[in-house]
Amino acid sequence: MFSAADRRKRRYVLGSAEGLLDHLRSSPDPYYDPVGGFYVVAYPAGDLPEAKRVYRGVELAGMEEGFVALDQACTHLGCRVPFCRSSQWFECPCHGSRFNAVGEVRTGPAPRGLDRYAVRIEDGRLVVDTGHKVLGPPPGTDTTGQRPAGPHCS
């Protein structure tokens, strides 16, 4: 198992970007990498105009490719935040913070959305760079307008 310090310095090559994007768009669940401690979700192409008003740099570049890589740790106190299949949100079991499917905080006490990692496509493969972490967006950021799909898990 890698330590948190090791995870911050690693590049994870996940395989075919096209295949992963197809899978994410057809599955209710995000891709989870337990070794890297991150999730990968599809960013909805139709929401890119709103994302361009909020995000910059490597975050926006990944969204334009169709992906967001999210740290698994809640930005409140660092608990692992699982994905709730029924609501289609990330929900912290420790103190109740909830994040939409692209990691934007919807209810606190989390002070910001889930932190993100740089993603890029190299030779057709998706690469997540955990050495390049970007702090999550501030409360009130809602680029997708996603509402819970069903009951919350926590």
Element (H, E) at 4: helix 4-7
Which residues is 71 bridged to in the sheet? 38
Model pLDDT for residues 96-150, shown as the tens digit of each residue:
999 999 999 999 999 999 999 999 999 999 999 999 899 999 999 999 999 999 9
Rounded to two decimals, the pTM is: 0.92
Q: What CA–CA distance (Å, rounded) separates 68 from 39?
A: 8
Joined together, the tokens standing for residue 18 give 């096209």
Report residue 8's pLDDT band, with 50, 70 and 90 as the boundaries. Answer: low
pLDDT digits (tens, 9 = 90+) for 54-105: 999 999 999 999 999 999 999 999 999 999 999 999 999 999 999 999 999 9
In the chain, the domains with their CATH numbers are 4-134 (2.102.10.10)
Average pLDDT over all residues of the chain: 93
Q: Report the pLDDT value the prediction gives residue 152, as an integer from 0 to 100.
A: 94
Specify the pLDDT at position 7.
Answer: 53
Dist. CA 83–CA 19, nearest whole Å: 21
Is the model's pLDDT at 13 over the cut of 80? yes
With 80 as the cut, is the pLDDT of residue 2 above it? no
CA distance 37 to 4: 9
